[in-house]
Structure 1
């Protein structure tokens, strides 16, 4: 991912604005499930570095150190564990190594350990649970640098290497790389419109009137004929 200015613009967005824009475009399955929670600070923005694995496979699995070598500045390390419940997939030393290489955050549908260290660490870590036991005797990496799927709120979310990841206190959204520039642009406009609506309400205007006069999300061009403009 070479477009650093786009990542900086992404980091100034709210997930709610990006989600509204993507739904209006027809990209509905882009919001991750609320079962994935941040350990500490929730705010993260970067591009996806994908890996996956599973329990019970007879294959030898890929070395965990191979993932460290793939990290580059701006990466959000995304690990699809098939919702592994056997223990921790990542811990403090692994996270420290990847942060040294430029990782901006971690996102996995499994467990972590060293919770206190990760919660107070320099980058956000989103996961399902914490556990003191290392899962790697039961769980193995099966692929790196390939698309993965994580549970979403309106259906499973496909995440491909290079897709943009945005997280904040409301949750995590995935911006498909081929539409990322347009989504960011439209979300910036949408955030300004939402701020204008709030200003009008605070000045005494009714919410319905303020919303309708703002032409909220009317600037968004749907990708399909079935996309709907979200109401609020």
Structure 2
């Protein structure tokens, strides 16, 4: 994979729907997160996953919350699998402020937040299930950091690993596996140009069917099995 900054710059210009189209065509169908996860304010988010997870009812002391702050690096999207926690807020304004100062580009969790107004108007996107005034950490503890996690998806659970790419916009959130990310981004750029050409043709009077068939839409995308058959030099 190429260096991170150019890749993230290209990623940030993509549409989640176009990336989803490409991944489905590649055979990566379980990469779209559930619509129950929604943004507080601005939806657009692009970065590398920094993963953590926790759960309710942990008998022993959990991992210190400040350990997650220390793991944040520039370009990170902080992904927290809460085990569907409903006991209150996992993150709040001070935690987000600390991590944004360290370079976080967004937050994604299947649980709750608080300080909703501050987070909704903040500098990065925050995706969650709900808001609550109560701190969940009396009932909920971190159990792992910098390890793969799973979040609810449209077609089953979505595994997110440290270093996978996260792309979100008003349509939702998609996860690009890091080992295929550069190819997905390349193919998505082509796909978006093709979609723009289809729209222009329709606006010029062509039928949607004719414009779509003329574009050879997504035919540049090879399934992952086809990529695997290419001999290495």
Q: How far apart, in 2, do the equivalents of 1:31 and 1:12 lie?
A: 18
Note if 1:77 corresponds to 2:78.
yes
Aligned twin of 2:92: 91
Unaligned runs of 5+ in 1: 226-232
Q: How far apart, in 1, do the equivalents of 2:218 and 2:28 lie?
A: 14
TM-score (norm 1): 0.96
- Residue deviations 1:54-104 (CA, integer Å, cap 9, x gap): 001112110000000000000000000011000000000000000000000
Alpha-carbon offset, residue 2 of structure 1: 4.4
Aligned twin of 2:180: 179
Aligned twin of 1:60: 61
Q: How far apart, in 2, do the equivalents of 1:3 and 1:91 lie?
A: 28
- Residue deviations 1:154-187 (CA, integer Å, cap 9, x gap): 1100000000000000000000000000000000
Aligned twin of 2:159: 158
Q: How far apart, in 2, do the equivalents of 1:204 and 1:49 lie?
A: 47
Q: How many aligned positions are there?
A: 225
Secondary structure at 2:83 match in 1: coil
TM-score (norm 2): 0.95
4+ runs deviating over 3 angstroms: none
Q: How far apart, in 2, do the equivalents of 1:59 and 1:199 lie?
A: 60
Alpha-carbon offset, residue 223 of structure 1: 1.1
Cα RMSD after superposing both structures: 1.0
Aligned twin of 2:128: 127
- How is 1:1-232 mapped onto 2 (pairs within 5 angstroms)? 2-224=3-225
Q: How far apart, in 1, do the equivalents of 2:225 and 2:202 lie?
A: 33
Alpha-carbon offset, residue 50 of structure 1: 0.2
Q: How far apart, in 1, do the equivalents of 2:218 and 2:166 lie?
A: 22
Secondary structure at 1:48 match in 2: strand
Secondary structure at 1:212 match in 2: helix
Secondary structure at 1:93 match in 2: helix
Alpha-carbon offset, residue 224 of structure 1: 3.8
Q: How far apart, in 2, do the equivalents of 1:155 and 1:197 lie?
A: 32
Aligned twin of 1:229: none
Aligned twin of 2:230: none
Unaligned runs of 5+ in 2: 227-233
Q: How far apart, in 1, do the equivalents of 2:49 and 2:81 lie?
A: 12
Secondary structure at 1:193 match in 2: helix
